[in-house]
């Protein structure tokens, strides 16, 4: 039930609601619970009608680069 | 899809499995890893991860499916409330088919004419309250720390908007006390925990310090197959190095400090109470009750509930499954009388219940 998806912010309205795009599906989510500054184009993790977290793009890149290294140094 | 497709890359999975094999060989003993979250259980089943792992690495499901751990008495109280006159009962879809005493359920009640609605967000209950001013909307507040802030925020919004015909029947639970109870139980042997990624968005990494202090790895893990394999790798490598710690695999989703704003909402609206978990019994401080200033939004303060005698279904081993004491197919009812079409216990109802995941992907 704690399922949550990364969606891209399309627009933000005056009542602090954002329209987000999750793989082609659009949903409206409240930004009342998120504790980072977000803007149009950011990815947020959304759950039960609320955005909870801004996806950390730098961290994601770094983690993927680390995993990529695993492939290059594959040991069997 | 960005942030999803790259975490389903077969080449990465193969490399991670190589590392997992290597660590498993180095450990040379049986290792049990508990995935605490129901969404992990679902991902492990869906991607066939259990069968990929070396023979000495066992994954066991924990108490991370909210409808599964809801006590049968709370289910019965929900069914009672949904049957009251003038009530619209709103809840998440998972709750509908959970059997109460004598096989009753919200779904059956709805078939008999009760106004039970499935909603995707607690905010929908505000919309319902506005649409039906002469009815009272009860929202069944269920879920862990991922979900409870959304209910807290909804209540604060309802107050701001001056809406008085909505209340919450709170059966919310918090995760760390349940993990503590599992660590304290000598009959359950767990070597490491895959910690729930989305609960951790809110509570942060420090909430699991007690696990590392008990000598066990605790790795906050995401929900794509690469995430789960990477989380398992991190646990095994910690075990090989004998350096148990709290670590974050799901760095794109979780910051070490968590979401302070969401925690402030929880702090504003709720206070800790003892709560009964199916399979685990009563765990001190593991539930959320409304603070006095929000009692006008507490269903149990607005409606008097008569004494209800609840009785568990005979033979259902859901409680043992939730503690990780047995795996689903060790239950005599599993797949015989208890199936997703005709679920006897809640672990077979929810898509993220361990029994349902075992059945679907066996």
* Cβ under 8 Å to B: A residues 25-54: 30, 32-35, 43, 45, 47-50, 52-53
| CA diameter of chain A | 56
- Mean per-residue pLDDT, B287-303: 97
Does the beta carbon of B150 lie under 8 angstroms from any beta carbon of chain A?
yes
Alpha-carbon distance of A54 to A46, in angstroms, equals 9
Q: What is the pLDDT of residues B62-120, one digit of tens each?
A: 999 999 999 999 999 999 999 999 999 999 998 999 999 988 999 999 999 999 999 99
Residue written as token pair 């709103």 = B90
Nearest CA in chain B to A68: B12
Using a cut of 0.90, tell me whether the model's pTM lies above it: yes
Q: What is the pLDDT of residue A75?
A: 54
Neighbours of A43 (CB within 10 A): 24
Cβ-based neighbours of B231, under 8 Å, separated by 6 or more: B194, B219, B220, B221, B222, B249, B250
Q: What percent of chain B has pLDDT over 70?
A: 100
DSSP letter at B109 equals H
d(CA B113, CA B235): 50
Q: What angle do CA A60, B46, B185 make, to 5 degrees?
A: 85
Q: For the ranges A55-59, A72-76, B114-118, B312-316, which has the lowest average pLDDT? A: A72-76
Nearest to B64 by CA among B213, B201, B222, B194: B194
> In this predicted model, what pLDDT tens digit does every residue of B18-27 receive, in sequence order?
999 999 999 9
* CA dist., res. B12 & res. B3, Å (int): 15
**Rounded to a whole number, what is the distance in Å from the CA of A12 to chain B's nearest CA?**
17
Of the candidates B2, B153, B352, the beta carbon closest to that of A50 is on B153
The ipTM is 0.92
Q: Check residue B295 and give its pLDDT.
A: 97
Q: What is the predicted pLDDT for the residue at B194?
A: 98
Q: Is B94 on the interface with A (CB under 8 A)?
A: yes
Q: Running DSSP on this structure, what letter comes out for residue B281?
A: E
Give the pLDDT confidence score for residue B188 in this predicted structure.
86
What strands, in cross-sheet order, belong to the sheet with B116-118? B116-118, B87-91, B136-141, B166-170
Question: What is the length of chain B?
Answer: 362
Disruptive mutation site among B146, B153, B232 for chain A (greatest number of A CBs within 10 Å): B146
**DSSP type of residue B6:** G
What pLDDT, on the 0 to 100 scale, is given for residue B279?
87
* Residue among A20, A31, A48 with most chain B CBs within 10 A, to mutate: A48
Q: What's chain B's Rg over C-alpha atoms?
A: 21
Q: Residue B333 above 60 pLDDT?
A: yes
Tokens at residue B200, please?
A: 């951790």
CA angle A33/A34/A39 to nearest 5° reads: 135
User: Tokens 């990529």 map to which residue?
Assistant: A68
Q: How confident is the model at residue A76 (pLDDT cuts 50, 70, 90)?
A: very low
Rg of chain A over all Cα atoms, to the nearest angstrom? 15
């Amino acid at each position: 039930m704690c399922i949550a998806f990364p969606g891209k912010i399309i627009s933000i309205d005056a009542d602090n609601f954002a329209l987000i795009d999750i793989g082609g599906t659009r949903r409206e989510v409240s930004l009342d619970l998120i504790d980072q500054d977000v803007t149009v184009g950011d990815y947020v993790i959304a759950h039960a009608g609320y955005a909870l977290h801004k996806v950390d793009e730098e961290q994601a890149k770094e983690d993927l680069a680390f995993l990529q290294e695993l492939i290059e140094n594959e040991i069997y | 899809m960005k942030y999803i497709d790259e975490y389903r890359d077969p080449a990465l999975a193969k490399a991670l499995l190589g590392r997992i094999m290597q660590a498993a060989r180095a450990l040379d003993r049986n290792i049990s890893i508990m995935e605490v979250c129901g969404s992990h259980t679902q991902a492990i089943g869906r991607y066939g991860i259990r069968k990929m792992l070396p023979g000495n690495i066992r994954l066991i499901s924990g108490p991370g499916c909210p409808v599964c751990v809801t006590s049968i008495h709370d289910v019965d109280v929900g069914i009672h409330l949904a049957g009251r006159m003038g009530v619209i009962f709103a809840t998440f879809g998972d709750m509908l088919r959970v059997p109460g005493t004598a096989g009753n359920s919200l779904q059956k009640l709805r078939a008999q004419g009760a106004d039970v609605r499935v909603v995707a967000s607690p905010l929908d209950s505000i919309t319902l309250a506005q649409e039906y001013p002469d009815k009272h909307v009860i929202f069944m507040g269920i879920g862990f720390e991922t979900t409870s802030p959304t209910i807290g925020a909804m209540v604060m919004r309802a107050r701001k908007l001056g809406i008085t015909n909505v209340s919450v029947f709170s059966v919310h639970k918090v995760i760390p006390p349940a993990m503590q109870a599992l660590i304290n139980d000598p009959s359950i042997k767990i070597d490491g925990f895959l910690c729930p990624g989305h609960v951790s968005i809110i509570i942060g990494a420090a909430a699991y310090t007690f696990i590392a202090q008990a000598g066990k790895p605790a790795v906050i893990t995401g929900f794509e197959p690469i995430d789960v394999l990477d989380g398992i790798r991190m646990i095994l490598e910690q075990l090989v190095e004998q350096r148990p710690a709290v670590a974050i695999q799901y760095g794109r989703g979780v910051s070490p400090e968590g979401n302070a704003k969401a925690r402030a909402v929880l702090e504003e609206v709720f206070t800790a109470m003892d709560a009964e978990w199916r399979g685990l019994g009563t765990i001190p401080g593991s539930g959320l009750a409304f603070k006095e200033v929000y009692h006008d939004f507490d269903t149990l303060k607005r409606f008097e509930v008569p004494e209800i005698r609840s009785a568990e279904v005979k033979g259902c081993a859901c409680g043992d499954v939730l503690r990780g004491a047995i795996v689903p197919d060790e239950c005599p009812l599993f797949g015989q009388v208890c199936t997703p079409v005709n679920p006897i216990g809640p672990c077979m109802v929810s898509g993220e219940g361990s029994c349902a995941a075992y059945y679907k992907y066996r």
